[in-house]
Structure 1
Amino acid sequence: MVPLRGRSEELGKLLDALRSASNGQASLAVVSGEPGIGKSALLAAAVEQAERQGFLVASATAHQNDNISPLASLAPALRAGAAPLIDTDQFLELATLNAQPLWLAERLADLIGRRLAGVRALIVLDDAQWSDPLTAFVLQVVIARLPAAHLLWLLGTRPSPGGTTDRLIEAVDVPVRRISLEPLTAEAIQDLAADRLNHPVDPSLAVQLASVQGIPFLAEQLIAGLYLSDSDLSAGLVEGVRRRTGELSEASRDLVRTAAVFGSEFRLEDVAVLMATPIARLAAPLEEAIQAGLLADAGSVLRFRHELLRSAALADVPPSAQRALHGAIASQLMSAGRGAAAAAPHVLAVAQAGDTTAVATLREAARDLLATMSTTAAELIQEAFDLTRVDDPLRAEVGVEVVSVLLAAWQYDRAKAFADDLLSGTALYHGPIAPDLQATIRLHLAPHRRLDVQELTVPGAAPHLSERLAAHRALALGTPGAAADPIAQSLHQVAAAEQAQAEGRYADARELYAAARQTEPGLGSLPPTLVEVGELYCRAESDDLSAALERVRELMTAGSSWSAPQLAVLHARLAYASGNLQEAEDAAHAGLRWMDQLHDQSLAPAADQVLALVALLRGHLTQARKLAGSDPTITALLAIADGDTKAVSRLAAAPQDFPERSGVLLQANAVDELSQSAASRGALAVVAAGDDIDQLAAAMEIVRTTQRPLLLAQAEERYGRAALEAGDRKTGVLALERALDSLTAMGATAPAGRIQAVLQAAGVRRRRWAAVPPRAQEGWEALTPMERRVALLVAEGHTNRSAAEELVVSASTVGTHLRAVFGKLGVNSRVQLTRLVLERFAPPPNT
């Protein structure tokens, strides 16, 4: 390989990144610089070094037309080499997920993670500024998902503030190395020239090399005769290419110039059609262009050796000829069946305002790309809109499509702003704004909850549109009604389902959600996956938890990936209810990660709620407190865990949708009768039984049918304690041991530890008590329940004597506990203790 000149410092940074990858620290390196500055050469040197060190290397280069094909930029890297990252069957599986970007990214991360287990790897993407939108999105997800892999991601890119690589750097949380390439020194340029010539540079050439201003590509072209040093940089390359093409045959010159209009990549058969020349007759002209250093044969396509060479060749094609060729290319691509998406860039190159044919082609392209490349579709439909005249009625029709496509691309704010401008009589549109136009646009927005209630009324709209808007208004206000239109009817059913759900009538709500899903989707209908999320929640709450959880797991790969946060939160809640704490935690974290990817944090409190509850069960109180936020129920549970027995009464106010609410209300002895589920009936029966052993035994039989191990363990504990107090040691110990074993298996060490203490106090001996990890030696978690209660009372201003009266112990016992508190918390006065407690509790305890 030709030596890399003048880049030792930059290459050293990449070698450091490779060493980090060897040690299991994944990172991202971004090499940026202007065209011709040597990015590709530096990436090639890094690839060579990685291969020498035994790295698995996968590399690809993005191209200008990649944005019409999903994953076109990254796919070659996935499939390259004798041992590709993704095998054929896996790649075909990924292709089925093109319309579900989040699921595709998650699956790809899983496949790459498995493939690279114990393997050091380098994944390279050159010219990343041209990455297709799906590749750009997938990179964000996959890099974030593999932080501990032995992996270096290496991107080469042109500077583009706010572009693909800048967004990627902001999104990932792995170490990022940014390497900006500057022009080479004169000495490095001469060394590079000597390498290419295989002999020292003579003085006259050295003078010419000074004109390239440190740009290695121009130095190489000067040596090859494709750059003239007696002009400025751009003109010198144009003149050099012009001189070289002047030496070619006329057919070869025509081929190069026609290809330059096509773009940096093209097919020979397309050029042949435009030149009205049989492909066979272009073989010799093509070989001339390749030998001249202008083109390269990549197999199925031909490419210019560098984008700068294409630009130089294009400079010799008059603007009028370029326009004519772009139009001919668009027609050729359409007639050859390549589709409107392939023709779109050429249409845009020549289209003018009022060109209805161009508008039609761009609209078709947007529709073709919407399922797999929604970001590109959004840009194309916007271009189509801009080509219509402000007073043309067609502009309103295209404007509706703009709103629809932007929403499909999850660009909600942009869609709402565009709709407001379109309907407000601004310069965006001067045509008539009919009631049906207003209603149609608002019905596109309404399912995404982007409208105020007053915007859900449009006087004079068609009856079916008015009914759908009224149904959305009923949904927003929680006032279900009836309608003749099927979609409006399904919306009223969802409104009724939400009302029943809020009242705890889960079986009724489940049936209403299921009925709403039977209607064929159309303008104004809610996303089916989101309706099913509501149905599954109610299904779980109406004694069908296992089946609901299984269906959610299916939807995590088969449902709409745009609904991933909603699915993840539901998954977390149902897994928690099933006692699968690790699954619940993983699902909640996945939901938060996907919320970041989709820039929608509306469900973050619900995910944090599950994470806080899991932390509480594991005894990680500090972590739970960080996650609790202002949630009053979790704050009360934390206060109870910290020894504040008075906080139990606050649990009675747990909201209807709080996870495992029956268990919370059972703890407060405040179970209501709103829900008719087995969980609610069982908890109510446990409370009603009080300390009656026989009634508790009967209540236990109800709870056993609920598929809710946390609630069952809670009931078992009550039953066991009551039996012990009644003198029935055998029954009590058996019940408590069942609860202990269940909680231990779940990893719920906090309640398990409490039960373990009761069993030990009852004289139960086991060869090994595995439920509870050793207590922390310092900090709040190191305090015993009694020590926490003493700390809370002292922070409230109690003396030792008044605290003793509150706790029904002696003042000396309080003093003993207080000294232990001081030691474990690292304080030496009541003032310091009070400050620490007040910092920890918000609001202060017992308020």
Structure 2
Amino acid sequence: MDPLRGRSAELGRLLDALRTAKDGKASLAVVTGEPGIGKSALLRAAVEQAERQGVLVATAAAHQTDDISPLASLAPALRAGPEPLISTEQFLELAALNGQPLWLAERLADLINRRLQGVVALVVLDDAQWSDPLTSFVLRVVIARLSECKVMWLLATRPTPGGMTDQLIDAVRDQVPVHSIQLAPLSTDAVLELAADRLNAPVDPSLSVRLGGVQGVPFLAEQLIAGLYLTDEGLPDGLVEGVRRRTASTSELCRDLLRTAAVFGSEFRLEDVAELMRESIAKLAGALDEAIRAGLLADGGATVSFRHELLRTAVLAEVPPSAQRALHRAIANQLLATGRGPAAAAPHLLATAAPGDVEAIGTLRKAAQELLATMSTTAIKVIQQTFELTPADHPLRSEVGEDVVEILLRGGRYDAAKAFADDLLSGSVLLQGPVSADLRASVRLRLAPQQWATGQLDRAELAIEGAAPHLADRLTAYRVLAGVEHPFQTDDPVARSVQLLAAGAAAQADGRYGVARDHYAQARATATAEVGSPPVLRIELAELFCRAQVDDLDGALKRLGELLTAGDSWLAPQLSVLRARLELAAGNLLDAADAATTALRWMSELNDHSAEPVARQILALVALFRGHLSEAREQAGADDGIRALLAIADGDTSAAARLLAVPLDFPERTEVLVQAAVTDPGSAKAAADLLAEQADATPAPGFRGAAQVVAAYNEDDRAGLAKAIELLRETTRPLLLARAEELYGRAELQQGDRATGVATLERALESYTTHGATSAAGRVQAVLQAAGVRRRRWAAVQHRPDTGWEALTPMERRVALLVAEGHTNRSAAEELVLSASTVGTHLRAAFGKLGVNSRVQLTRLVLGRFGSPPNA
């Protein structure tokens, strides 16, 4: 390999990053530069150095035609070399997930992670600006997921602001270091050194002068030396003229081969070109050899490619535009005739089709549908371009417009679909002529399922006069779902399914979870693939939530696990948030936090943040269970339920009244109402009434047991508490059971039954400790210690730190917050029903633990921590 001239600093940066990979510090390096500036040469030098160091190297290069094949750009790197990143069997397994990009990316990350255990790797992708959409998405996920692996990712790209590499950098910069390397033109000395390397001799003065005309572009310097670039012609004409002169001595067949191949693309199959030229492959073999010897083509075995995209551009410049159009159309027809499909023909059709070309429009519509299964981003581009090819007054315009809405929706682009639909139906320039009632109804019905799922059903948009009977019934059914129509009889299966969905949603809103579950199951069984049919997976998510509420928690979790690997990956955030809710209910705090964190990551990757508030509620609740108040406050935001729980943790028992207002869908609402009842006597009766109402609506053991716990607690009924505990043993909600046991144990201790009280409290302590609820475990442990229970070693319960906000006791935190609000010791004492001297004692203790010595410093600390000095 020839030396790399003029790039020692850039190569040094890459090798430094590679060396850190050996310490487990993954990184991303992006080399950016204009065509011919030497990006590929720099990558080859880095690869050579890596191989010398024994690093596992995987390389690939993207091509202009990659965007019609899923993972076409990255796949060669995955399968490269004698020890590939993934096996053939694993690669075939991934192919089955092409239509589920997130599941594919997660699975690939797992496979590569296992392959890289104890291995240092370099993964290289050249010409990344041409990466297919699935590769671009997968890289964003995989690089972030493998941040702890010994791997360096190296990409080369042309400057494309806002393009694939910029999006990738934005997505992973918080997980891995990013090294951005911008290649500038070579210095004059470096160009002369490069020329001497290629000539294997000193550069004569006349060549030196001519090399000054390449403007520091190494590719042009090499082509000048090879005779393919003339500096007196200027850029890029010099290369065009150089290629023209070089090919002048070749056969006519060779020149025809080059021109035809240039229209095919930078990479092509010789048999395709032979078929188009109506020449035998045997006859073209000689012409191919001429092109290779001329330095224009390279034979890769299965495919042939131009040695550089600039060379293809120079050859293409020799093909008149009319000839290019004819060749593109001929290529498209050939691909269709040989069964390669509309998707393969689409790029060539788009290069030639004129507005109103019905044949091309029909093929492109099929191509968009074909691509949608695996390449939704490309499908969206194709259908949008197809719409532009359809004149505004053409009969097909409305049909293609409806295709645009459908494909945008299926590609996860609801906002774009809604905006386009509004424009299409508004009588704007998008569609000239009257908008039929059926078109309006059909488009609105395509949007309605997503609008239902995100709570955005617009009643006015569902009122359309004159639509066909089946469309009218479906619209009316969605108005039932929106709550503005009464249920009605219909023979239309979609309308029936939507009304069953409406019945389920109404029952769920009333807390009748068993009824809602059954309605959802019926709606799911009735759903079809016709326009307006509600999404089956969305219905099942609601059904699984209701199953968990009626104490089928294990069954719901099992089914959810299946959906997390086989369901629609566009709904991955919602699937993971539901899993977090169910894991929290089952007492699996770490699993709940992991699922909620994963959901937030997936929301970012899919740009769908609709479920973020619930994910953060769950993370806050887990943090509260574990006694991590700072973390809980970070997740709380403006959520009043979480802020009330934090206020209670800070000693403000009056905040319990605010827990009575938490909505039915608040995570673990039952436990929260129990908390309200036992924290504030003034809230106990109202909490008991709410729990009794819930138990009446859904008489499942969990709800009935919780209602009995609070009722018995309010009446100091120890026997009632014992019966409630037995009822809760029928559920799979260990933390709710432990809470009941804690209350019962305390009651028995207070009444003098030490044996029963201690035994019950120890069961509660064991459950809290096992599930990581360290805050509650510490509370129970303190009661047992106060009762004189002694153990050689208590279970590992989180101890309060010595300094910082977490070191404060609840009362010290309460005093600190009141003082930060401006209270004096006396007014704070009145608020807390304490003596002023006791408040002073708590305040001095808080000063010491927080490292402050004045009220001003304390207020600044509170403001810096919370943004305002709330007691909630």
**TM bucket by the smaller chain?**
over 0.9
Output aligned runs, 1:491-640, within 5 Å: 491-519=498-526, 520-640=528-648
Shift of 1:52: 2.2
Change (3 A) 1:835 1:285: closer
Counterpart of 1:274 in structure 2 is: 276
Deviation readout 1:772-808 (Å, 9 max, x if unpaired): 2332111221012343344355556666567667767
Counterpart Cα distance in 2 of 1:793 and 1:213? 70
Change (3 A) 1:763 1:802: farther
Counterpart of 1:337 in structure 2 is: 339
Report the 3-state secondary structure (helix = DSSP H, G, I; strand = E; otherwise coil) of the residue aligned with 1:389: coil
Change (3 A) 1:312 1:725: same
Counterpart of 1:194 in structure 2 is: 196
Shift of 1:637: 0.9
Counterpart Cα distance in 2 of 1:244 and 1:295? 13
- Of 744, 755, 766, the residue aligned with 2:791 is 766
Deviation readout 1:272-306 (Å, 9 max, x if unpaired): 11111111221221112112111111121111111
Contact 1:30 1:156 in 2 (8 A): yes
Shift of 1:389: 1.6
Deviation readout 1:101-127 (Å, 9 max, x if unpaired): 111111111221222223221111100
Counterpart of 1:791 in structure 2 is: 816
Counterpart Cα distance in 2 of 1:105 and 1:578? 29
Output aligned runs, 1:91-240, within 5 Å: 91-172=91-172, 173=174, 174-240=176-242
Contact 2:592 2:618 in 1 (8 A): yes
Shift of 1:21: 2.1
Deviation readout 1:316-338 (Å, 9 max, x if unpaired): 22222222211111111111111
- Of 651, 661, 675, the residue aligned with 2:659 is 651
Question: What TM-score results when the alignment is normalised by the length of structure 2?
Answer: 0.94
Counterpart of 2:719 in structure 1 is: 694
Write the letter of the residue equivalent to 1:517: R
Contact 2:775 2:798 in 1 (8 A): no
Contact 1:648 1:668 in 2 (8 A): yes
Change (3 A) 1:525 1:809: same
Contact 1:33 1:181 in 2 (8 A): yes
Output aligned runs, 1:306-317, within 5 Å: 306-317=308-319
Write the letter of the residue equivalent to 1:325: L
Write the letter of the residue equivalent to 1:583: D
Shift of 1:539: 0.4
Change (3 A) 1:23 1:458: same
Shift of 1:516: 0.4
Counterpart of 1:290 in structure 2 is: 292
Deviates more, 1:764-773 or 1:41-50: 764-773
Does residue 680 (structure 1) correspond to residue 703 (structure 2)? The answer is yes
Write the letter of the residue equivalent to 1:81: G
Counterpart of 1:79 in structure 2 is: 79
Contact 2:31 2:156 in 1 (8 A): yes
- Of 461, 483, 508, the residue aligned with 1:477 is 483
Write the letter of the residue equivalent to 1:482: F
Write the letter of the residue equivalent to 1:28: L
Counterpart of 2:682 in structure 1 is: none
Counterpart Cα distance in 2 of 1:81 and 1:796? 67
Counterpart Cα distance in 2 of 1:523 and 1:796? 57
Contact 2:195 2:203 in 1 (8 A): yes
Counterpart of 2:774 in structure 1 is: 749
Shift of 1:455: 1.0
Change (3 A) 1:114 1:480: farther
Q: CA RMSD in A?
A: 1.9
Counterpart of 1:719 in structure 2 is: 744
Change (3 A) 1:211 1:677: same
Change (3 A) 1:584 1:134: same
Counterpart Cα distance in 2 of 1:431 and 1:806? 71
Output aligned runs, 1:429-508, within 5 Å: 429-449=431-451, 452-477=458-483, 481-484=487-490, 485-508=492-515
Deviation readout 1:453-485 (Å, 9 max, x if unpaired): 211111111111112112222223376623412
Counterpart of 2:683 in structure 1 is: none
Counterpart Cα distance in 2 of 1:226 and 1:678? 83
Change (3 A) 1:845 1:395: closer
Report the 3-state secondary structure (helix = DSSP H, G, I; strand = E; otherwise coil) of the residue aligned with 2:803: coil
Deviation readout 1:673-700 (Å, 9 max, x if unpaired): 2232211100111112223322211110
Does residue 38 (structure 1) correspond to residue 63 (structure 2)? The answer is no
Report the 3-state secondary structure (helix = DSSP H, G, I; strand = E; otherwise coil) of the residue aligned with 1:477: coil
Counterpart Cα distance in 1 of 2:153 and 2:624? 38
Counterpart of 1:827 in structure 2 is: 852
Deviation readout 1:374-414 (Å, 9 max, x if unpaired): 11111111111111121111111111111111111112222
Question: What TM-score results when the alignment is normalised by the length of structure 1?
Answer: 0.97
Counterpart Cα distance in 2 of 1:793 and 1:69? 63
Report the 3-state secondary structure (helix = DSSP H, G, I; strand = E; otherwise coil) of the residue aligned with 2:577: helix
Counterpart of 2:680 in structure 1 is: none
Counterpart Cα distance in 2 of 1:676 and 1:492? 25
Q: Which structure 1 segments of 5+ residues have no match?
A: none
Shift of 1:840: 5.5
Counterpart of 2:19 in structure 1 is: 19
Deviation readout 1:521-572 (Å, 9 max, x if unpaired): 3201222111110000000001101110111111111100011111111011
Write the letter of the residue equivalent to 2:201: H
Q: Percent identity?
A: 68
Write the letter of the residue equivalent to 1:158: R
Counterpart Cα distance in 2 of 1:436 and 1:806? 66
Shift of 1:816: 3.0
Counterpart Cα distance in 2 of 1:151 and 1:501? 48
Shift of 1:61: 0.2
Change (3 A) 1:804 1:418: closer
Contact 2:769 2:777 in 1 (8 A): yes
Shift of 1:27: 1.8
Report the 3-state secondary structure (helix = DSSP H, G, I; strand = E; otherwise coil) of the residue aligned with 1:154: strand
Q: How many residues align?
A: 847
Deviation readout 1:180-205 (Å, 9 max, x if unpaired): 11111111111001111111111121
Contact 2:297 2:305 in 1 (8 A): yes
Write the letter of the residue equivalent to 1:512: H
Output aligned runs, 1:301-380, within 5 Å: 301-380=303-382
Counterpart Cα distance in 2 of 1:842 and 1:730? 48
Report the 3-state secondary structure (helix = DSSP H, G, I; strand = E; otherwise coil) of the residue aligned with 1:296: strand
Write the letter of the residue equivalent to 2:493: P
Shift of 1:502: 1.4
Write the letter of the residue equivalent to 1:413: D
Deviation readout 1:209-248 (Å, 9 max, x if unpaired): 1111111111111111211222112111111111121121
Report the 3-state secondary structure (helix = DSSP H, G, I; strand = E; otherwise coil) of the residue aligned with 1:425: coil
Contact 1:392 1:431 in 2 (8 A): no
Write the letter of the residue equivalent to 1:706: T
Write the letter of the residue equivalent to 2:460: Q
Deviates more, 1:33-42 or 1:672-681: 672-681
